[in-house]
Amino acid sequence: MEKKMKFFVVALAVAFTTSAMAQLSIGPRAAVNFSNAAFDSDEEVNSGNLLGFAFGAVAEIGISDMFAIQPEVSFSQSGFVLKDEFELLGESVDLNVRYNYLQIPLLAKLKFGSGPAVVNVFAGPHVGFGLGDIDFEAELMGEKETDTQSWEDTGFSRFDFGVTGGVGVSFAAGPGKLGIDLRYQLGLNNISDEDGDDDKASNRNFQAGVSYLIPIGGK
């Protein structure tokens, strides 16, 4: 984990040093998450998507007309649904497992087009740091039951690392640009780090977002 963090810090430093010589735009971004988890276990785990949200800030550092670096920071609600994993009073119950990250992607972006609409293709690494506690929610006979536990008590890792990739389009709108994007986040870190347990789990997330970037400097 230490090597991953050193790489990420160096990459961020390079990005912000480059911004002094490039076109810089900043603004807010909000998104809807459809998150899940991939399990590597001796027993079959039937999981489903959990609906959540994300919001934060984006900076686009334009290196040329076709290439930019895009660091982001956001609050991101993730998790998964365990489908029909439990049975209470003769009824199968789904369990929602929800946790939150402070997430920092660092994306390389290719831009195509020079008119009012520009198509973007982007990819890069992201890191996440767990916030708060983990919420568990089940619904039985129309009643919701909830429980909250710490990351440490559940055996989940607060640290996450992965890659993000996607496509988007941006439109000229007022002083800035309105952006819409679809992205997929592939977790590479085992978030199930309970001692003595060989089972593994990693995050998966499909995200649809909208942003608004305003230029604040240039070459």
Using one digit for the tens of pLDDT, what is the confidence trace for 28-41? Answer: 999 999 999 998 87
Range 166-176 average pLDDT: 94
Does 142 score more than 80 pLDDT? no
Does 143 score more than 60 pLDDT? yes
What is the tally of structural domains in the chain?
A: 1
Distance, in Å, from the CA atom of 165 to the CA atom of 211, rounded to the nearest integer, reads: 16
Using one digit for the tens of pLDDT, what is the confidence trace for 50-70? Answer: 999 999 999 999 988 899 999
CATH number at residue 10: 2.40.160.20
Distance, in Å, from the CA atom of 54 to the CA atom of 103, rounded to the nearest integer, reads: 9
Count, in order, helices (H) and strands (E) of the chain. Answer: 2, 10
Residue 158 phi/psi, 5-degree rounding, is -75, -20
Determine the pLDDT at residue 92.
73
Does 10 score more than 60 pLDDT? no
Does 21 score more than 90 pLDDT? no
Distance, in Å, from the CA atom of 163 to the CA atom of 4, rounded to the nearest integer, reads: 12
Q: What is the residue whose two structure tokens read 């002094």? A: 20
Using one digit for the tens of pLDDT, what is the confidence trace for 81-135? Answer: 988 666 655 667 888 999 999 999 999 999 998 778 999 999 999 999 999 999 9
Q: What percent of the chain has pLDDT over 90?
A: 63
What is the extent of the structural domain holding 47? 2-217
Determine the pLDDT at residue 36.
96
> What does the mean pLDDT of the chain come to?
86
Question: Model-level pTM?
Answer: 0.84
Determine the pLDDT at residue 19.
46
